[in-house]
Structure 1
Amino acid sequence: MQRPMTPLLAALAVASCMGAAPQQHPAAAPTPPPLTVMVADTDALGRVLTAPDGHTLYRYDREDGGTVACVTTCTDTRKPLLTRPGTGLRLPPGIVGTLGTVSRPDGGDQVTYDGSPLYTYAADEQPVDANGVTLHWHVIQPRNVPAA
């Protein structure tokens, strides 16, 4: 014995026979990539860029124009902030600047901020420590979006 068709099923059957297109929902916006760098406030140096784990990021004065000079023994204490090829790069909201990558001579893609390759310092034990500042190594102090 067949069960009678409910009104909803009957309406769907008629619509499908009449060539009615199924209702489509708008596509969801793509999820942005995770933040590549973060921002933290320090007591002595003000606002600085950090790696996602909170460790302070540095730039090396002797690297400009996409040149990577910190290789071999230099990377024993200065760890390059690396990314996988094709990974989306993203700054925190309200921070001005450009993230990019540079190919390292010893392999890998290193994240850059406004063209400067980024590094953490091995002796920074806690997030936002800034023990790696020297004559040629500097923290990255990002620019904020101007107030409207």
Structure 2
Amino acid sequence: MKRFAIVVGSAVLGLSALPACGGGDDTPAAAPSNTSSQAAPASSDAKLATADVGDFGKIVVDGTGRTLYVSDKDTADPSKSNCDGDCAAKWPPVVAGSGTPQLDGVDASLVGTVTRTDGTKQVTLAGLPLYLFASDSNAGEAKGQAVGGVWWVVGADGKKITTQASGSGDGGY
């Protein structure tokens, strides 16, 4: 009986420690689209600004200065995102959050949202859904430019910029 009590007591202690380990919030599939370094936090509003990046001139960036992209596989009229699953892990959508995006240098009349297949609201510019590139880890990087011949940095006017970046790959999606 004493052995049974020790086993049960150990199991209870072990299970009670699990919530302290982070719960279910750090599942790999959800992390790219929900982490603040990858996309706008769901609990706050998205931020769009402009910055001079590389040879692209003034482009649209998020609140932390990370480059934003559009995809040729999406549509602007009507707005539709065609990047889900593995694609969204590599190209996290810019999530709208709970209110109106904060803008700095971006025309408010060009900014909108589209409902994704998972029900989240994604920020659009001139109708096209906006994304981050998971491999851009710092402000001012534009490693996603021309990837797969379909991903492009976007100007403040909402138009894709097709200038090829030096060293552009065709690494997918």
Q: Same fold (TM over 0.5)?
A: yes
1:140 aligned to 2:151? no
Which string of whole-angstrom CA distances, capped at 9 and with x for unpartnered residues, describes residues 38-73 of structure 1?
111013211110011110000011111211100011
Q: How does 1:27-38 map to 2 (within 5 A)?
A: 36-38=47-49
- Following TM superposition, the consecutive aligned residue runs of length 4 or more in structure 1 with deviations greater than 6 angstroms are none
2:93 is matched with: 80
Distance 1:131 1:90 in 2: 25
Percent of residue pairs bearing the same amino acid type = 28
Q: How does 1:15-26 map to 2 (within 5 A)?
A: none
Greater Cα offset, 47-56 or 135-144: 135-144
1:41 aligned to 2:55? no
Relative to structure 1, the CA distance from residue 94 to residue 49 in structure 2 (aligned partners, 3 Å threshold; closer, same or farther) is closer
Relative to structure 1, the CA distance from residue 68 to residue 35 in structure 2 (aligned partners, 3 Å threshold; closer, same or farther) is closer
Choose which of 64, 80, 91 in structure 2 pairs with 1:53.
Answer: 64
2:36 is matched with: none
Supply the AA of the counterpart residue of 2:64.
D
1:18 is matched with: none
2:131 is matched with: 119
Residues paired across the two proteins, number: 111
Relative to structure 1, the CA distance from residue 93 to residue 139 in structure 2 (aligned partners, 3 Å threshold; closer, same or farther) is closer
1:31 is matched with: none
Gaps of 5+ in 1: 1-33
1:71 is matched with: 84
Q: Which has the larger radius of gyration?
A: 1
2:112 is matched with: 100
TM superposition shift of 1:93: 4.1
TM-score by length of 1: 0.67
More helix by percentage: 2
TM-score by length of 2: 0.58
Distance 1:93 1:133 in 2: 21
Q: Answer 1 or 2: higher relative contact order, Cα 8 Å, separation at least 6.
A: 1
More strand by percentage: 1
